Structure 1
Amino acid sequence: MKKILLMVALIGATSFTFAEEVSVFEAGNIASDNPYGLTENEQVLLANKKRVDNIQATLKTHEEDIVGLRSVLEGSNSQISKLESRVSDLEIRTTGKVSKLADKSASTVTSEDIAGLKKDIQELKAQIAVINQKLGTQGVKKNENLVQKSDEKVVQAKKTTTKTQEKSSQTQTKKPAKKVVAFDDMKKEDIIQDAQDLFNKKEFSKAKVNYDYLASKNYKPAFTNFMLGEISYNQKSYSSAITSYQKSIKHKDDATYMPTLLSHTAISLEKIGDKSSADKFYSVLKSKYPNSAEAKAIKK
């Protein structure tokens, strides 16, 4: 069976569009709007990413609030300055008029005038007190402290994300690095045979090291990626299994293990909650390999 025929059948039988196919195989992508099928490390990275985004959104809101408060503060300060100037002027005038009372010949100020001026001063001071209260200067300080704490949380969250990424990278690269040196002195046929023996013994982690090396050398990429998918499938790392199966089918779609690949892809999709995509793979399996054990095992 030709590759192009199977791809056409996949598209025709299951109504796959290009966008749908990409969606099926995007499990584990934390950059997606709705990521799914994440590994433990990917879940940590996603949680940190969301925390950073939330803190930055909160920080932006507080910054906007502070800008508004500062604008009110500047306007109120100007008003207070004018009121205080009036108070000062009235106090000077009052003091001057009181002193002039000593010189009765020069004074025309009555006791009512003095009382009125004092009343004006008290009213202005009361207005200043009200404005100060409305400004909520303590609230301004509180928001500024909150912004500072938010900045610290952003920095800490980014540090945590970076450390997690570095740890994940080290975990993924540390073991293969030791094996590559030995593999360079071995024939690839021996490496793949050793990998198959390890897989049959269910020593999946050790087998994966061999297959990872062969995949990096592009040696039998269809079969190598299929076996990497099988290892991930057996280890219940379903999103990784789907990714490996996708790589395998791109290199060869008429291999003898195709029924297993389609079946395990469908099951993996079910495990990560994508029942709709899983049904499409089951449909292709039944239509193209109706007599296979995998097709017969599908529940109707």
Structure 2
Amino acid sequence: MLKSLLATLCVASISLLVAAEPSAFGAGNLDSPNPYGLTSSEQNVLKNKHALKKVVLKSNNQANEVDSIRERIDGLQSIVESLSRKSQYNKRSLGLLEEKATKDLLNADEYEKRLGQSVELNSQLSEKNAQAIAKNLLLAQELSKLIDTINTTYVTKIEFNELVNSVNEFKSLVAKEFKSKTKLKTSSLDKMTNGEVADQAEAFYNKQYYTKGIEYYSHLITKNYKPANSHFMIGQMKFKRKNYSEAISYYKKSTSLYSKASYMPELLLHTAISMEKTNDKKNAKVFYNAILVKYPNSTEAKRAKENLLAL
């Protein structure tokens, strides 16, 4: 629209210039490079002509600048559209990345949570294992002390020899007693098998015929027939008669012959009680504790615990 206006102005101006009458000899020729002899009207026309040329030139320059600006605007619009498309793409990509990051964060939190739970569980298991190991180690140490005590104080060589001497003395007494008995009684034991004597000895024990029971079990000792059990049974009868010192000697001998017998909990309990009765409370505590460590679920363990608390 601006170009059309400028063109119209140019045409009108040129028409005016053509319509003006030139002076003689070129005076008043407005098309001359250096016009002269101009009237005031012609001078105004020339002045307007020059002004119009400047306006046209300026208008053309402005039109060119406008075109250049439009081209630039079109270019910028293309860039803006491209940037807009990229922005939309980046926005979608960013959304996907945020979604993935959120999922990764949730997964990381869940992993960290499970890892923490696993570490805590392992810590608890380790603590329990450590406690179990410490407890077993303590039991092992106590059992080791018990074994050392048994080996050093319970069945020493001197005590063993004393026990042998006691047995020999007892055998002598029994032998003398046998001599005072009728030959029929002596021969009756010799004619019986060891198994028959053992059955009869057990029957005497059950009936609380301890004198006969001791006689029969002593006979089995001389025949070396289940000597550990025979010593234990004599120790039981001595214990029931409250002959605690003699009972301890027979219990010691029984243990030295066979320490894995089924009656060991009872033997240890009666040994501890016998020691307590003879004022040997120190060793009595040792044997009570031995029962608790080695046979914690036995009936004797309950009695041992009660007696320990009473000491």
TM-score range, shorter chain: 0.3 to 0.5
User: Quick check: which has more Rg, 1 or 2?
Assistant: 2
Task: Give the helix-richer structure, 1 or 2.
Answer: 2
Higher relative contact order (CA 8 A, sep 6+): 1
> What is the TM-score normalised by the length of structure 2?
0.45
